Amino acid sequence: MAALLDELLVILHGIWTRRWLALAVAWGVCMAGWLGIALIPNSYQSKARVYVNTQSLLEDKVGITQVQSQQDLDRVRQTLASTGNLERVVRETDLSRTVNGPRDMAAKITRLREGITVVAQLDPSMIDISATWADASLSDSANARISQQIVQKLVDIFQETNLSSDRVETKQSLAFLDQQLAQRGQQLAAAEQRRVQFEQRYAGMLPGAGSIGQRMDAARSEINSIDSQLVQAQSALAAMNGQLAGTPQTLPGVGSSGGPSALAQAQADLASMRARGFTSDHPDVIAAQRQVNLLRGQASGGAGGTPNPAYLSIRSMQAERAATVQGLSARKAQLQADLNSMSARQTDEPGLSAEQEKLDRDYEVLKTQYDKMLADREEIRLRGDVKSETGSVQFRVVNPPNLPTVPEAPNRPLLLVGIWVLGMGAGIGTAFAMAQIKGGFPNAARLEKIMGVPVIGSISQTVGAAQAAVEKQRLKWFAGASGGLAALCLLLIVIEFVQRGLA
């Protein structure tokens, strides 16, 4: 510990003996640094905060999501610092007074682009717009005023972009879609006409929709279904025929005068069916008419007994089953004839199916494109109406552009103190380096250690009264010079704050 203390004292002694060199270096560094700081122009920054709300319940209903709104906001932010907008800022502010030709205009646009900042806050609806301007040829008040004008003009452009760009874009999109829809409509009409002409020539032989192959497959499937239904109907008809053969037509042992007249009842039933709107081809009407005819024949023939109701019911059911079988057979015959005709035509013209598939495919493609473009046009029109009529874009200036009173950069008080500290460090470092370079033996112990021989003794310096007075005067001069450097630094800081207040 004692050795370290001795080493520290040696270093301090070497610096103290060269204190005037240290002070001179400190003054030189400080003066050069403070002069450089004085040459740096003050840059002033003006800020504004705007609120843009692009969210709307109605917009969500028509497909304008929050992501799309954010994309629109980002697009406006990117175009805000475009060359055209920045040139407009230069021309409509006091910067136009200092523009001398296209080259100067380009330089100012470049400086503006570097000094303008557009930042979105955590809430994406909040946008901070700031601009920094520094021109050594202008006064501080002029620089501050220009920075405020830049931000104000950017806010105006931002508002115009939000309120007018959507309308212009919507009109352009609608005009383009109308033109495309007209072309697609003509192509679709021509394709539909070709398709109708083809169906009139060939495809009308088979029912249903689709290509010839699809219709033939549907016809074959229907014939198979009819075959199964026909088998069931024929089985039911055979059962009715067998049951009818074992059922007597009349019931013996009861006279025709017993009970109400069966003929009158049958005629009443037939009249009731006709009153309900049943036609003569209806199975129930046919069965009732047969029953009336049968009863009339029995009444005219004078046959004994009463008609058997079970026989009449089975006879009616038999007629219904027979009509079903006849209808299914006719339907099958018609489908089979059409199928045979279409198969023969396909054999004669093998490209018929391929031609219809091509016509159908072209028609479906054009129709799909037309429907999609029509839906897009309606969606764009509805979005434009929502944004223009309902006022979905809400723009409000939360914090207007401020007139800065304190320069954004440089921070002169901090730089002045930093230069003073740097100068003091440079002076002390220079004195320490000179002490190490020139060498010497500050005490007997150092001499004995380096030379390797014992030191018998040392003679201390004796200062007389006159020399002590001189050293005391020099010490006052040194203290005054050191204090003057610190006082000058403090004075410069005070001047800086006074200038800020005046600005």
Provide the residue-wise pLDDT of the chain in tens; the chain has 503 residues.
666 776 677 677 777 878 888 889 999 999 999 898 888 877 888 888 887 765 443 344 344 455 555 565 566 566 677 777 888 888 888 888 878 888 888 888 888 888 887 777 766 567 788 888 887 777 777 888 888 888 888 888 877 765 555 555 566 677 777 888 888 888 888 888 877 776 666 655 555 555 566 667 787 888 888 888 888 888 888 888 877 777 777 765 444 444 346 777 777 787 778 777 778 877 788 888 888 788 776 655 544 556 677 777 888 888 888 888 888 888 888 888 877 776 766 665 555 556 666 777 787 888 888 888 888 777 777 766 655 554 445 667 778 888 887 777 778 888 889 999 999 999 888 888 887 776 666 666 666 666 777 777 666 666 677 877 877 888 889 888 888 888 998 998 888 888 766 65
Which one, of 169, 67, 63, 161, lies nearest residue 383 by Cα?
Answer: 63
CA distance 365 to 179: 18
Closest residue by Cα to residue 425 from 25, 10, 18, 16? 25
Around Cβ 350, how many Cβ atoms within 10 Å?
Answer: 8
CA-CA distance, 89 to 98, in Å (whole number)? Answer: 13
> Using only C-alpha atoms, what is the Rg of the chain?
56
- Token pair in block for residue 274: 């006709």
pTM of the model: 0.43
